Amino acid sequence: MTAARRGGKRVGYIRVSTLDQKTDRQLDGIQLDKVFTDKASGRDTKRPELRAALDYLRDGDVLVVHSMDRLARSLPDLRKIVTELTGRGVVVEFAKEHLTFTGEDNAMATLLLNVMGAFAEFERTLLLERQREGIAIAKKKGVYKGRKPSLTPDRAQELRARVAAGETRAALAREFGISRETLYQYAFR
């Protein structure tokens, strides 16, 4: 366990992939000053609490993450985050792997970051492959219905009318609880 430098904070980052997954086991029993928690996929770094944590961290702080795959599922994203943080004087600590990165890391630390990060990326690829196989089998059996539509037909019609009336798309997306990409799919079909 790495202590924060004088005046620094120990900041935790927790991520689970779905809303019904529990965060309890991550960072349990680890003393932290502040914790940021995302319930989102790790496929990219566009996660609100990750962004907030990265903005919050300062020189002398320690970012504590349960494991590398909780921070990022892609090796380039993992390396970018760790390099960016250590470059700002933030120490990055992975509890499960017992690895700490300070920016003054040796060749072995760099190798471990790359190897362990590659395993996290490989695991995600296997998961997606199994998911595609399962969907293909379910489609053959006629039991796969696909994802439920984000909006009912009535809500979709209301959305299209309000876009046509000139309301801002960002405000509509927030109000309807959908992404702007989904808004465009409904509004311009």
The percentage of residues in the chain with a pLDDT greater than 90, rounded to a whole number, is 40
Q: What does pTM read for this prediction?
A: 0.68
Q: What Å distances lie between residue 149 and 79, 121, 139, 178, CA to CA? A: 36, 29, 18, 11
Q: Does the pLDDT of residue 189 top 80, yes or no?
A: no
pLDDT per position as a tens digit, 118-150: 888 888 888 889 989 998 898 889 888 888 888
Q: Does the pLDDT of residue 84 top 90, yes or no?
A: yes
Q: Does the pLDDT of residue 18 top 80, yes or no?
A: no
CA separation for the pair 61, 44 (Å, rounded): 24
Q: Does the pLDDT of residue 3 top 70, yes or no?
A: no
Task: Report, in this order, helix, strand and coil percent for the chain, each rounded to 5.
Answer: 45, 15, 40
In words, the CATH class of domain 10-117 is alpha beta
Q: How many CA atoms lie within 13 A of 77 on its CB side?
A: 16
User: Can you give the pLDDT at residue 22?
Assistant: 80
39-64 mean pLDDT: 92
29-33 mean pLDDT: 93
Cα dihedral 91, 97, 98, 102, rounded to 10, equals -20
Structure tokens at 176: 């309807």
Q: Any idea which residues carry the catalytic annotation?
A: 17
29-46 mean pLDDT: 90
Of the two residues 45 and 34, the one the predictor is more confident about is 34
CA separation for the pair 18, 40 (Å, rounded): 6
CA separation for the pair 8, 61 (Å, rounded): 4
* Average pLDDT of the residues of the chain: 88
Domain residue limits, the chain: 10-117, 153-187
